[in-house]
Amino acid sequence: MKFIFTIFMLFMATYTAMAQTAKVDTSYIKTYEQKILLQGYVSTNTIQVVNGSKTYNANYPLNVGFGFALKNTIINATYDFGLIPLKGKEYGKTNLNDLQIHNYSTHFMLDIFLQKYSGFYSGGLYNQPITLYPNLSVSQVGAEGSYVFNGNQFSGKAAFEQSEKQLISAGSFIIGGGVYLYRVGLDSNMLIAGNRSVRDLQLGLNLGYVYSWVLGDFWLLSGMAKIGANGGNQQQYAGTGNLKIYPTAFARGSATYAKPNWAVSYLMLINDKSVYAFGNRFDIASINFQLSYVRHLNSIFKRKKNI
């Protein structure tokens, strides 16, 4: 973990230096005059696993969080905590740790996932019986980067962070890549290789497009989609493996209502990857939804006027 943190900090230092030297077209993008960004939000984060016709879901909680950012610095932090699971006890208990970092600059987008979920269920829809898989666990450790070719006119910060304003509709082709490490612990109820564990390291490339629609003076709709392929090891019963190509998909979207000093935004993100092991394909999707309120201001504490 220390090695990953060190690499991440070195990358962020280079990333921030490049972001500060990049210029934007001010007829398309406007920065907020205020120095401070405060954010409050409710969100749900989960991992879903699909194997054949079977879908395994986590009993994930509703999260409440807050964020703070200081203009022209690397200070940009968020913190949240889970309240209660969204499903009842009959859906089992999911133990989870979910840390995600999403950062946007003029020409780069960076997404980091540190997730571990243990305890899943299937069924529950259309009167289907609920089956619990308490020993099914999924760990995803990965980083995904995207280069935005038209970043001087398209603003990822306006679309997905609300720290800038998009004045004119704009889009851009994007190219990216990612590296992921997956660990999947199978439950004996799944009848797939007993209690064997899956370990898979993947590296790949992807292509896509991102676009923001400016609707009137206050509304902004944004969407981004990437598809690609990862290369990784396909685990076999005998303990050996061979190189396998994994399809990938990555999508995010937002709807924002922005005023001069505040904004309300609804965001979604779907990160879909595949893992092959023991003759089976596991589609693993990380799914996020967030409703946030952002406030822009110059000072947290107002000065009292002298009488």
pLDDT digits (tens, 9 = 90+) for 83-110: 888 888 899 999 999 999 998 999 999 9
- CATH of residue 141's domain is 2.40.128
Burial of 26 (0-12, 13-18, 19+ CB in 10 A): exposed
**Given this model, what pLDDT does residue 10 score?**
46
The pLDDT of residue 14 is above 80: no
pLDDT digits (tens, 9 = 90+) for 264-305: 999 999 999 999 888 888 999 999 999 999 999 987 766 544
Answer whether residue 217 is part of any domain.
Answer: yes
Answer whether residue 149 is part of any domain.
Answer: yes
Q: How confident is the model at residue 240 (pLDDT cuts 50, 70, 90)?
A: low
pTM: 0.86
- Mean of pLDDT over the chain: 86
> How many domains would you assign to the chain?
1
Answer whether residue 307 is part of any domain.
Answer: no
Which range of residues forms the domain containing residue 292?
A: 2-297
d(CA 128, CA 85): 20
pLDDT digits (tens, 9 = 90+) for 241-260: 678 898 999 999 999 999 99
| Cα dihedral sign, 128-274-135-3 | negative
Q: Are 295 and 37 in contact (CB under 8 A)?
A: yes
Answer whether residue 303 is part of any domain.
Answer: no
